[in-house]
């Protein structure tokens, strides 16, 4: 662990439990986003997403889709 991260964690330890929970949630969100970015950056995943997008556009153009309103897709 870097010294800078150790220093930030030491500061975070001084926060209230509520503030620590909020900070932990924010860090988790950042880490999850980075993981998704790594996954989507893989060429095989990008290619699959492109194919799915093209298929969705084709289905929409063929009238095979329906409009989603609010929570109607749930």
Average pLDDT over residues 52-66: 95
3-state secondary structure 12-64: HCCCCHHHHHHHHHHHHHHHHHHHHHHHHHCHHHHHHHHHHHHHHHHHHHCCC
How many whole angstroms separate alpha carbon 62 and alpha carbon 1? 54
Is 2 domain-assigned? no
Is 47 domain-assigned? yes
Quote the number of domains for the chain: 1
Task: Note down the domain range covering 18.
Answer: 14-61
3-state secondary structure of 6: helix
**What is the per-residue pLDDT for 66?**
87
Is 68 domain-assigned? no
Instruction: Give the global pTM.
Output: 0.61
How many whole angstroms separate alpha carbon 48 and alpha carbon 27? 29
Is 67 domain-assigned? no
Is 26 domain-assigned? yes
Model confidence pLDDT, tens digit, residues 22-50: 999 999 999 999 999 999 999 999 999 99
């Amino acid at each position: 662990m870097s010294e800078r991260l150790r220093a930030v964690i030491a500061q975070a330890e001084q926060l209230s439990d509520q503030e620590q929970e909020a900070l932990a949630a924010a860090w988790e969100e950042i880490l999850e986003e980075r993981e998704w970015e790594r996954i989507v950056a893989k060429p095989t995943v990008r290619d699959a997403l492109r194919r799915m997008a093209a298929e969705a556009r084709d289905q929409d153009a063929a009238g095979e889709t329906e409009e989603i309103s609010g929570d109607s897709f749930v």
